[in-house]
Amino acid sequence: MKKSILLTALLGALLAGCASTELQEAQPLNPPQPELQSMQADDNQGTAYTSPDLNLQELRGNPLLAKDKRGIYFDFNKYVVKQEYMEVIQAHAKYLNETPAANMKIQGNTDYRGSHEYNLSLGQKRAVAVKEALNSFGVDDSQIETVSYGKEYANLDCVEQNSCGEDRRADVVYTVE
Amino acid sequence: MKFIKLENNDELQANLFSFAIHLALFLVMIFSVGWQTKTPYYGEVELWDSVPVQKKINKTQATPKKKIKQKQNTKVQKSAEAKAKAKAQKEADIKLKKKKAAEKKAAEKKAKKLKKQKAIKELKKKVLKQEKIDKLKKEMLEKEKVERLQQQIIEQQKIEKMQAELRESELKQQKKPALEGEDEVKGGVNTGELNKYKLLIQQKIQQNVNQQLCGLDYITLEFRISLMPTGELLGQPKMTKSSKIKSCDDAVERAIIQSQPLPLPIDSGLFSKLKNLELKFHPNGVE
Amino acid sequence: MNKFLHIIFAGFLFFSSSVIHALEVIEILGGKASQIPIAVMPFKSFGAQKDIGKINSVIKGDLGRSGLFYPLDTRGVAASPNSDKEVNFSQWKSLEAQFLIIGRIDFVQKEKIKVSWSLIDIYKQQTILSGEYVGKNNQIRAIGHKVSDKVYERLTGSKGVFHTKIAFVEKYNNQKFKLNIADYDGYNITSLLDSKMPIISPRWSPDGKKIAYVSFEKEKPVIYIQEIATGKRKLLANFKGNNSAPAWSPDGKRLAIVLTYSTNSQIYLINTDGSDVKRLIRSRSITTEPSWSPDGKEIYYTSNQGGGPQIYKFNLESSEVSRVTFEGKYNLYPSLSYDGKLLLYLTQDQGKFKVALQNLQSNQVLKLTKGPLDEAPVFAPNGHMVLFVYKNYGKTTKIGTVSINGLKIDPLPLGSRQVQEPAWGPIKN
């Protein structure tokens, strides 16, 4: 009889509620991380963005090959070469066909909006579109290299300045005359 | 009533003891004491918006130089004091030179001081200008933040509106047809009034359910509560079905406690129907 | 006699229980997304000390940034309690606090501290969690982040991410670039790489020990993998054309990358040692920005096969492709939450670029930010916060956090640095 009273009393005490306190943790933290070394980009430092571009005078004096005409511009999110640029492209194709030693690089660019990777691909598409236009005039791929810089050199303020169209272009650059 | 003879003492003790425990438990069940409820104490607390600003110390102003009136010398006798005059003249010349030099120095000093004051002024201007620019920038950022927050509040209100509409349609399914227009009295209790208070209670608690702590799945949890006529809880909410997510169980329990006092009718008949409630929660809605 | 009494008792109980079963039932649907008000008192310092910084502001910053907590302003509140016995619960209730954190810092040795803390539930009027950490003076922020993690886990049930690291690219001197890592809140910045050419797409390995990134240093984009502790790096991919968009598989053994080897951007798989290059998708359109599902079975990516960029997914077993985003004409930069339930991406909405979330079960879309020129959103490893880039007035781009309930946006304190391309490191166990 007394036992059962005792048991009940015990049960009652237990059920009165347990306060939950987390176990005390006393642990040293991980040692501070080793000092990270700043790394220089190894070997080939790489030249600046503008590769040597040849003076137009040396390109047979054709005004269509003028340096200020070497940008082909595109609409937002598009990589179709517009008709208005075909004349200039044809002039370049003629030059390349007549000068087998000449080499050209087409650099694709985009405006600032969107992601770096998607714009890298879009810039590539633009460069390739110009290359294919040259192909259609008989130029061989061996004389053309396509490269994309995506939005890496775009103007961050083009939206405020309403000048985003200037960044959506493929540049034609001669690396060998 | 005939009293039945018992077989032996032990049995009597056992039965009495058993009866006592049952009675005690029954009493506890009916009259659970709210020994933890305290009336809220609204103490006074001094809250400062910011640390009091130190008063600026006024710089002392430079006093302007007073003009010293020079006493005019009286005329000196000529012949006998010509030498003295010449001497005095010489001395005067030297004095004049010294004076001029001193004046020149003083003038230079003054010019320097003015220049310095000017420079300080310029600097102050620059600092003020920069502060203005910083302030503007900050305001613009704040404005951006506020606009973003406002947009989010609008989106949140849209979601709440959708949920409210969902709730309404659920309620309509729950409502008894007799409620449309007429108040039906059933078992001595006005069902229309009853449902009104149920809705009020539901809305008050729902506002406090922080469903973010309940994941994304369609879970349910259930609690049982007892109320006092004041709308306060009698004892703690009792969870009868867990959501299996501890933070969700805790959040819903907090919501119930936060919702005190719950809106309750004054009529004792109606209150008796609402003093013990079963609450079923669907924090993420239903499929 | 026994039986009779028993029947009486049984009847008694039955009667009382039947009374209970006549309870009114109230169904409560949904709730309201709110921030839990929490007060974090300044921790008291004991022992000879210098000012090591305010640990309570680290904790307040952490909890507030998650969007689930609202740290209360405790300036001017009467003396800080030393234990839960000293807490004036009614006072805290009247300030609408639901929880309170108190603590102390003891300077135990020359450069060592011991931090003790308690989390107190104001409604239950008791301590529900406490702990103690020992560390160096300069680890006060790290200790603060640990406390935040513990409190966060206790109250939300989710893992805390306040101890994690982030990576980002900084452009400086107009034409130089640095790849940096820092605490998730922008403190303790260190540089991993310094270059004269752009760096993009940094991505942490699942074990947090390496970072893959794209560098233009060879005058074209190539992919490196760099070991953080040693600074050693290895060229992963330098194929003809562009090499970019590295994405680690969840098991850390392979990466999905994008090559323009065939003149068009296409997705390939490659082992971490550079071997076994496999083309994944054949398409005449752009396919880029691969991102793995947490179970490693699907790869989400961006493609313009439908005209503008949209997000698709590729099943590695069945090679099936299906489209995922349908709202709006311009959706890109996909990534998934750790539980695979939410898709985070960038969308163009009425001309503005905004961060968006899509619930992959209900397909509901929520715009998390307002734009106009936001980009590069990435999830915290517990899926509760997002790091993203936004453009300030003038030429600088900034990085900030936004909680996924949209209630808290916070810029990272990176000063006037021009920053972009953030990546969020994993939880450390």
In a domain, C147, yes or no: yes
Question: Considering the domain boundaries, does residue B117 fall inside one?
Answer: yes
Helix (H, G, I), strand (E, B) or coil at B211: helix
Q: How many CA atoms lie within 13 A of B47 on its CB side?
A: 9
Query: A2 falls in which pLDDT band (50, 70, 90)?
Result: low
pLDDT per position as a tens digit, B1-39: 444 454 557 778 888 888 889 898 888 887 765 454 444
Nearest CB to C215 within list A32, A41, A146: A41
**Mean pLDDT, to the nearest integer, of C237-256?**
95
Residue B146 lies in a domain: yes
CB contact under 8 A, A1 and B13: yes
- What's the rounded Cα separation, in Å, for the pair C92 and B139? 32
- Residues C221, C350: one domain? yes
- In this structure, are C152 and C218 located in the same domain? no
Same domain, C281 and C399: yes
Rounded distance, CA C64 to CA C407, Å?
10
Please give the radius of gyration of chain B, using alpha carbons only, rounded to the nearest integer: 45
Give the span between the Cα atoms of C390 and B140, in whole angstroms.
14
Q: Tokens 């203005």 map to which residue? A: B132
Residue C19 lies in a domain: no
Whether B61 is covered by a domain: the verdict is no
| Residue C258 and residue C221 share a domain | yes
Q: Which of C139, C156, C173 is the last residue of a domain?
A: C156
C147 close to A41: Cβ distance less than 8 angstroms: no
User: How many domains in chain C?
Assistant: 2
pLDDT tens readout for residues C254-298: 999 999 986 789 999 999 999 999 999 888 899 999 999 999 999
Give me the pLDDT at residue C22, please: 73
Per the rule left: phi > 0, alpha: psi between -120 and 50, beta: everything else, B153 is alpha
C-beta of residue C355 within 8 angstroms of C-beta of residue C391: no
Distance CA C348, CA C290 (A): 19
Domain annotation covers residue C95: yes
Are residues C136 and C206 located together in one domain of the fold?
A: no
Chain B positions touching C405 (Cβ under 8 A) are: 212
Strands C99-107 and C44-46: parallel
Of the residues C156, C175, C191, the one at which a domain ends: C156
Query: Is C3 among the domain residues?
Result: no
Closest CA to A64 of A84, A36, A50: A84
Contact yes or no for C164/C152 (Cβ under 8 A): no
Same domain, C349 and C396: yes
| Domain assignment of residue C118, given as a range | 36-156
**C33, C408 Cβ separation under 8 angstroms:** no
Residues C258 and C289 both lie in one domain: yes
Three-state DSSP string of C223-240: EEEEECCCCCEEEEECCC
**Domain end marker among B177, B202, B230:** B177
End-of-domain residue from the set C121, C156, C191:
C156
CA of A113: how far to CAs of A136, A166, B147, C347, C352, in Å? 31, 13, 22, 11, 10
Residues B142, B223 within the same domain: no
**Minimum mean pLDDT among B72-81, C218-227, C282-291, C299-308: which range?**
B72-81
Residues C142 and C178 in one domain: no
Q: Are strands C409-411 and C44-46 parallel, antiparallel or unpaired?
A: unpaired
Q: Note whether residue B154 is domain-resident.
A: yes
pLDDT of residue A18: 43
Strand pairing report for A144-150 and C112-121: unpaired
Determine the distance in angstroms separating the CA of C29 from the nearest CA of chain A, rounded to an integer: 31
Q: Choose from B125-139, C198-212, C269-283 the range with maximum mean pLDDT.
A: C198-212
pLDDT tier for residue B171 given thresholds of 50, 70 and 90: low
Please tell me whether residues C277 and C420 are part of one structural domain.
yes
C67, C178: one domain: no
Instruction: Assess if residue C17 is contained within a domain.
Output: no
Do B145 and B200 belong together in one domain?
no
Same domain? C327 vs C395: yes
- List phi, psi (to 5°) of B70: -90, 130
Of A39, A121, A149, the CB nearest to C286: A121
Cα of B66 to nearest chain C Cα, Å: 52
Report the Cα–Cα distance between both ends of chain B, in Å, rounded: 61
B192 band by pLDDT with thresholds 50, 70 and 90 = confident
Q: In this complex, is the C-beta atom of A19 within 8 Å of any C-beta atom belonging to chain B?
A: no
ipTM: 0.89
* Whole-number Å distance between alpha carbons of C383 and C368: 13
Residue B102 lies in a domain: yes
- The DSSP output letter for B127 is H
pLDDT, tens only, A147-176? 899 999 999 889 888 899 999 999 998 887
Contact assignment for B17 to A1 by CB distance below 8 Å: yes
Please state the separation of Cα A14 from the chain's center in Å.
Answer: 66
Residue C73 covered by a domain: yes
Q: Is residue B141 in a domain?
A: yes
Residues B153, B228 within the same domain: no
Tally of domains in chain B: 2
pTM of the prediction? 0.71
Assigned domain for B11 exists: no
**For position C289, which CATH number holds?**
2.120.10.30
State the residue range of the domain holding B225.
190-281
pLDDT in tens, B212-249: 999 888 999 999 999 999 999 999 999 999 999 999 99
Q: Does one domain contain both C311 and C288?
A: yes
Say how many CA atoms lie within 13 Å of C261 toward its Cβ: 14
The sign of the torsion formed by the CA atoms of C380, C385, C389, C392 equals negative
Of residues B207, B153, B45, the one with CA closest to residue C73: B45
